[in-house]
Every structure is written in C-alpha cells, then in structure tokens.
Amino acid sequence: MRPLSKRRKKAGPGLNRLWSNFFIVLACAVVPLVLVFGVEFIQRGNLQETWTWLIQNPKLFTMNALLDLFIFLLIYALLGGLLPSIAVSILLLCTMSFVSFFKVKLIGEPFFPWDIFLNKESMNVLPLVTNQSALMRIGTMVGTVLVLLLLSIWVPRLRLKLKTRVVVGLMAVFAVYSFGVNAPWASRVMDRMGASEIVWNQSENYGNNGMMLAFTMNVKNAIVPKPEGYDEPTMANLAQSLKGQSGIQLASAKADPFNGKQPNVIFIMSEAFWDPTLLPNVSFSADPVPTVHRLQQESTSGYLLSPQFGGGTSNVEYEVLTGQSMSFLPAGSVPYQQYISKPLPSLAGYFEEQGYKSMAIHSYEGWFWNRENVYKQMGFESFMSKDQFSNPQYKGDFISDDEVANNIIQQVDSTDKPMFIYTVTMQNHGPYDDQRYGSNPIQVEGNLTPEAKDTLETYTQGAQDADASLQKLIDHFTETGEPTVIVFYGDHLPMLGYDYDVYKQGGFIQSGKSEQWSLEELKKMHSVPFVTWSNVDLPQEQLPILSNSFLGAYMLNHMGMQLPETLAYNAELSQKMPGMLRNLVVDANQNLYSSVPDSLKNDVDKYRQLQYDALFGKQYLAKYIDSQYLQQTVMPNYNQEFAVQAPAEEEIDGSLNASDGDNK
C-alpha cells in the first residue's frame, strides 16, 4: 500500500494545496484547544475541576489557547512539519504542566519561568515523582508524542513555504514576547479576556487564570522593578536618617557579655527541622527532640517565620545571611540562582570584618543552588561542601547530622581565630516514604493511614538525630569552655505527603489547599522552632515570631555586638513588625494581616529601598555611609584551604578521600 502522501499526488497540485491548507488551518484551530484542556487537566489533576474551570471561564480558556497557538506556531515555523510540531508542542507544554502539578503537590508552588534555570537542582526532585501514578501519566504523554512522530512518516508533512515560515515565526515570537513583557496592546487583550494577576498567591493565580497565562504573566516578574521613589537623593536622605543607628541595643542585651573575648558563632540551619509533637492528634512513644524542648525552657528561643514550605532552602539562607526579605522578590524566585552575581553585604563579611574566620559548611554538593559562587560573593573565607568531608557516615542517602557536628567541632578546634560558621545539614531531606532507617525507634500513634504513619516516623527519626547532633555540640563546648554561641533552627516545615496529608490527618490544619488556610494556619505552616545555646550567660527571651530576615540583626544585638546601619534598621523594624511574608504580616501585638497595614507602609518602603539598592541598584547608600559592611568584597583567599584537594576528586573509586577534611 502506498503512503497517503504519494497517492494524493495524483489528485493534482491544486487539490493537494487546498487539502494542505485545510488541515493546517484545522490544526491551528483545534490543537491549542486540546493543549489547554490537557495542560489544565494535568495541572489540576481532576477532570471535573478542569471542566468546571473551562465552562466558568470561557474567555480565560480562549486566552490560554491563544498563547498555546503562538507557541505551536513558533515550533511549526522552526520544524516545518505539522505532526512533529504538534508532538513537540504536546511534549513541551505537558511537561511544564507535570512539573507544575508535582511542585504544587510537594511544596505548594507552581512552575515559574525562572525554574527553567535550576539545571542540576531539578534532578534532586526526580525521586519524588516516580510513583506508579506519575509514571502512568508521563507514559501516556510520551506515548502520544511517539504515535504522532510515527504517523508523520505515513501522512503528508504539510510543510509551510519558507517565506511563510519566516513570517509566522516572527509573528509568534513578537506575540509571545509582547505577552511576556506585558506590552500595552497585550495588556489590553489580557484585560478584555478577564485576566487578573494574583502575585501574592501564585497557586490561586495559576488556578484562576490557567497555567499558560499565569506562567506568561510571571515572565515579567523575573526582572525586579525599581521601587517608586528610588533615586540618589532619596537614598542620601535615608542614609542620613540611618547614621548613628549602628549599635542599637535591645532592652535585654548586655553591652559585652563576653568580657572582651570573641565567641565562636555557629548557625545551624537543620534541613526541614520542625517539632512533630506540635501535631495535636498524634502521640509519640518518646520525646523526639528533648534538647530543643529543654533549650526552649532554658535559653532564648521562639519561632522563625520562614518564607518557604517543603523546599527552597537557599531562600532561607539568603534571608538570614543578608537580612533581606523574599517578600520584595517575585514569588518562587531563587536569589542564589537569579540575582547574586556581585559582592553582597552579609553576616559572613561582617564577621570577617570583626577578625573572625567565616566558613560555610554544607553536607551536599557545592554546586547545589549555586552556593559555591554565592558564598564567595557574600564574603565567606571557606566553603566546606560534601567533597571535603573525610569518609563521612551516611544515614539514608545523605551525610548524617552527627557527621556534620563532628566537622564543626574539628573546624573550630583546628582554627586559631574565632569562627563564624553557617551550617546547612542534609540528612533529614525529603521525601520520607523511603523507610531509610529500616526501623524507627520512636513509634507514633494517632488516626493516621499506614502511609502517613510511616512517613511521620521516618521524619521523626531524622528530627531526633538532628536534636542529638545539637546536644553533641553543646557537650563539646561545655567541656572545652571556649566561648561559643549556637543558633539552631529549621529552614522550613517538611513536606509530609502530597497535599499536606500528614498535617491534615494530624489535625494541624483543616484543608489540604493552601488558598483555604486562615492567616493563623498560614503562620503555623511557616513557623519553625529556633533555639540558642551559649556557655556564656546571655539574656533569656521568648520570641513568639521573628522573620528569618531579622534573625541576624537580632542575634548580633543579643550578643552585644555593634550593628552596621542597615542591620540596625532591621532590628528597629522588627520591634514594630517582627514577621513578614509576601501574604502575611505580624505586628508587634501579634495581630495578623494579609498585607502590610497602612501604619507600617513607610517603614516597609524604606526596607524595600535598602534591599533594592544593595541587590539591584547603584549602591547609593555606600556613598553616603562609610561602612566596610556596605562595601563588601570577595575574600582573596576564598576556599584556598580546600583548593589543593581538587586532584583527589579524580580518584578512580570515586570515594571521599581522607585528606578532604584537613584544614590546610
């Protein structure tokens, strides 16, 4: 049997051209509609919900189809053949929808334009999406694509003429670009179609507007706009108001609790650390975090308001180390990946300026979240990543928290200078359905499904190990007597099942949809415990809530250290507004707001301008305030102590080498 393309040639060129144009026009009309329906079905995971959205929002459905049409036309112009172009369009858009679906399930955030640049980091979530249901959905998509590619062998390619391809391609690029940057004509079209961007709640944004439209509207958010009123005269006036604020003291702070000695300052950001005993409907056979519970009674402690849930560890680091806030950046953005490419004031640079050795320790790959480059820009002297651990002990897939504690002790004991160490652990990274420990000594009881019980017990074992590693550090520095301050906290709450499953079953929240949470529930789902310890007598305080971005300023005050002007402003603002997320503000009286109240807007605007000036602007502030902190530079000897070990990484057996942990 002859291929259809050969048999149709007998019908004459005129009829062939007529049929070709008919099928091309039909494809342009039908394919975008099918793509929108498929993408929304994948993203929402429910046929009824997809159909309801389509019926109730015909204009938004049409707007999404228009965007899909431009994507399809661009691919068609590039590839030439109709069926291959349909196949690639399905593969591209459905893959985006799958990524968005799983991101929402896991951490409550959809797929953003800047997620494309995560590169290797995306590989870390692959184990989370390889269950049977996910593989069946992905297999269906891949099968459809393969069928279309095979059919293209037997049916006409339906190619466009070269000139037509160029014109169609340019038109598609222009349209996609216009909608992405929100050009005036594109903005008018979206307004008429009923598009309404919800920047502060991206899950709702994608749910209301449809994935392709919401994704496109977010493209412009990759560029952070200049705050209203930002210019040199404004910053000069702000600098004048900040002068003399350095050294601000909290009421409870002592001027010099260390009697002239410089203590080691150790920040430990424990991966996904949280207190599972906060689940009201669950009981435990033993206290999983006894050290944390004891410190909550004996020393300064409280809760940190994290900008993240279930992932995005580097964003919490960014807030703590710089004193800047994720609230002023696009939802879902990653400063480590997107914005930090030049020296940036941070706690690391501050402590170096005070005569400390600043070191970052992370028990995972140095490239992850671009840390090896970002830490350099932040003024760290050294970065000890996974490759510098000497024959470490693993628990599950990651280096154990106990091993991290051992290396902190080794680094402090082998260094003459006082140390500032910023530590990020990895042992208790999700997912927690892998039974990584074999058996879990601490048993949980409650109205939980077997899957939820296993997940919670695995997580709880990791939390217990993190707590024990903290106790090991306390025991060591109690014995040595070397002045030391430890600040221990989690980066975010753990992702315990899809749709916050364990939290719902445990009675911590009422709904598995974050857009339905009350402000109190939102606060609970972003509040992680933090505790401090010191072998020097420091004041004891209980903080109901404190944003991560204010933690650095608070601890410097708490230790009686002088603050640079911008961190002094953080300390002052935290007295009026201790907690701030993009969609949650906590004032000094613990009142909750979904946005900044009028009484605090001027203060928050100053905070925003200070951040923009340092991260994106002209660094005007440094021209008017003579501060080494504001004129951050890269350490000339950055990571030299570990650079000589690079050849060891080429060992054939690929094992970690004994010399990797040496402090040379």
- SS3 assignment for 332-384: CCCHHHHCCCCCCCCHHHHHHHCCCEEEEEECCCCCHHHHHHHHHHCCCCEEE
- Does residue 229 lie within any of the structural domains? no
Where does the pLDDT of residue 1 fall: very low under 50, low under 70, confident under 90, or very high at 90 and above? Answer: very low
Q: Which of 127, 135, 157, 407 is nearest to 266 (CA)?
A: 407
Q: Clarify whether residues 583 and 511 are in a common domain.
A: yes
Instruction: Give the pLDDT confidence score for residue 119 in this predicted structure.
Output: 52
The predicted structure's pLDDT at residue 522:
96
Confidence at residue 299, expressed as pLDDT on a 0 to 100 scale:
96
In whole angstroms, give the CA distance from residue 238 to residue 491: 32
Centre a 10 Å sphere on the Cβ of residue 67 and count the other Cβ atoms it contains. Answer: 25
pLDDT band at 452 (very low <50, low <70, confident <90, very high): very high
Measure the CA–CA gap between 199 and 332, rounded to whole angstroms. Answer: 10
Same domain as 296, residue 213: no
Strand-pairing partners, residue 599, are none
Strand 542-547 with 301-305, pairing: parallel
Q: What is the pLDDT of residues 463-519, one digit of tens each?
A: 999 999 999 999 999 999 999 999 999 999 999 988 899 999 999 999 888 888 999
Please state the domain count of the chain: 2
pLDDT bucket at 320, cuts 50 / 70 / 90: very high
- Predicted confidence (pLDDT) at residue 286 exceeds the cutoff of 50: yes
pLDDT of residue 147: 85
Are both 182 and 287 inside the same structural domain?
Answer: no
The span from the CA of 86 to the CA of 72, in Å, is 7
Mean per-residue pLDDT, 63-79: 93
Of 281-290, 442-451, 467-476, 651-660, which range is least confident?
651-660
Task: 84-90: list long-range contacts, CB under 8 Å, 24+ apart.
Answer: 84/148, 84/149, 84/152, 86/27, 86/31, 86/148, 87/144, 87/145, 87/148, 87/149, 87/152, 88/145, 89/31, 89/35, 90/35, 90/38, 90/141, 90/144, 90/145, 90/148
Per the CB < 8 A criterion, the answer to whether 216 and 588 are in contact is: no
Say whether pLDDT at 108 is over 50: yes
For the chain, give the number of residues: 664
Angstrom distance (rounded) from CA 270 to CA 321: 15
Domain boundary among 204, 222, 240: 222
* Same domain (yes/no): 12, 68: yes
Q: Is the pLDDT of residue 290 over 90?
A: yes
Q: Please check whether residue 545 is in contact with residue 305, taking contact to mean a CB–CB distance below 8 angstroms.
A: yes
CA-CA distance, 360 to 348, in Å (whole number)?
Answer: 9
Tokens (6 digits) for 632: 């951050």
Longest alpha-carbon distance in the chain: 98
Residue 134: its pLDDT value, please?
Answer: 67
pLDDT of 184 above 70: yes
Is the link from the previous residue into 431 a cis peptide, with omega within 30 of 0?
yes
Query: Using one digit for the tens of pLDDT, what is the confidence trace for 6-56?
Result: 444 444 555 566 777 788 888 889 999 999 999 999 888 888 999 999 999
Q: Give CA angle at 547 (314, 301), nearest 5°.
A: 105
pLDDT beyond 60 at 658: no
Q: Are residues 203 and 278 in the same domain?
A: no
Give the type of residue at 46: N
Q: Is the pLDDT of residue 194 over 80?
A: yes
525/605 same-domain check: yes
Contacts of 291 (CB under 8 A, 6+ apart): 467, 468, 470, 471, 474
217 and 267, same domain (yes or no)? no
**Is position 257 within any domain?**
no
Domain range holding 157? Answer: 4-222
**What is the CATH classification number for the domain harbouring 453?**
3.40.720.10
* 3-class secondary structure, 545: strand
238 in a structural domain: no
Q: Cα(486)–Cα(464) distance, rounded to whole angstroms?
A: 18
pLDDT confidence tier of residue 118, bands split at 50, 70 and 90: low
**Sequence-distant (≥ 6) Cβ neighbours of residue 598 within 8 angstroms:** none
Token digits of residue 164: 């037509």
What sign for the dihedral angle of Cα 383, 386, 391, 392?
positive
Whole-number Å distance between alpha carbons of 212 and 206: 8
Q: Looking up tokens 């529930």, which residue turns up? A: 521
Does a structural domain hold residue 256? no
Flag whether pLDDT at 664 surpasses 70: no
CA-CA-CA-CA torsion for 609, 611, 613, 617, nearest 10 degrees?
-110
Answer yes or no: is pLDDT of 79 > 80. yes
pLDDT at residue 656 in the model: 33
Specify whether 72 is located in the same domain as 173: yes
Check: CB of residue 430 under 8 Å from CB of residue 251.
no
Which letter does DSSP use for residue 657 in this model?
P
% of the chain at pLDDT higher than 90: 62
Q: Determine if the pTM surpasses 0.85.
A: no
What pLDDT is stored for residue 644 in this prediction? 60
Whole-angstrom Cα distance, residue 374 to residue 371? Answer: 5
pLDDT for the residue numbered 21: 77
For range 638-649, the mean pLDDT? 67
What secondary structure letter does DSSP report for 91? H
Residue 117 pLDDT: 64
What tokens appear for 101 in the block? 């679906």
Residue 249 pLDDT greater than 60, yes or no? no
- Joined together, the tokens standing for residue 317 give 């680091």
Beta-bridge mates of residue 542:
301
Any residues with CB less than 8 A from the CB of 523 and at least 6 apart, and which?
Answer: 305, 545, 579, 584, 586, 592
| pLDDT tops 60 at residue 650 | no
Dihedrals phi, psi of 599, to nearest 5 degrees:
-65, -20
Would you say residue 642 lies in a domain?
Answer: yes
pLDDT over 80 (residue 125): no
Residue 663 confidence (pLDDT): 34
Residue ending a domain, among 165, 192, 222, is: 222
Q: Map residue 63 onto helix, strand or coil.
A: helix
Boundary residue ending a domain (169, 191, 222): 222
Whole-number Å distance between alpha carbons of 2 and 154: 9
Res. 292: pLDDT tops 70: yes
Q: pLDDT tens, 608-634? A: 999 999 999 999 999 999 888 998 889
Alpha carbon distance 315, 109 (integer Å): 14
Does 200 lie in the same domain as 273? no
Q: In whole angstroms, what is the distance from residue 175 CA to residue 172 CA?
A: 5
pLDDT reported for residue 655 = 37
Q: Nearest 5°: phi and psi at 474?
A: -60, -45
The mean per-residue pLDDT over the stretch 645-651 comes to: 42
- Whether residues 427 and 301 fall in one domain: yes
- Claim to verify: residue 154 and residue 274 sit in the same structural domain: no
Assess whether 279 and 218 both reside in one domain. no
Give 3-state DSSP helix, strand, coil % of the chain, rounded to 5. 55, 10, 35
Kindly tell me the burial class for residue 598, based on how many C-beta atoms sit within 10 Å of its own C-beta (0-12, 13-18, 19 or more). Answer: exposed
Within 8 A by CB and 6+ apart from 467, the residues are 288, 289, 290, 291, 292
Q: What is the mean pLDDT of the chain?
A: 87
Confidence grade of residue 532 (pLDDT, cut at 50, 70, 90): very high
Predicted local confidence at residue 434, as pLDDT? 85
Per-residue pLDDT for 438 more than 80?
Answer: yes
More confident residue, 498 or 522: 522
Percent of the chain with pLDDT over 70: 88
126-130, 346-350, 397-401, 416-420: the lowest-pLDDT one:
126-130
Residue 254: inside a domain:
no
CB 442 within 8 A of CB 277: no
Residue 237 counted as domain residue? no
Interval 373-395: pLDDT, tens: 999 999 999 999 999 999 999 99
pLDDT the model gives residue 611: 97
Can you give the pLDDT at residue 608? 97
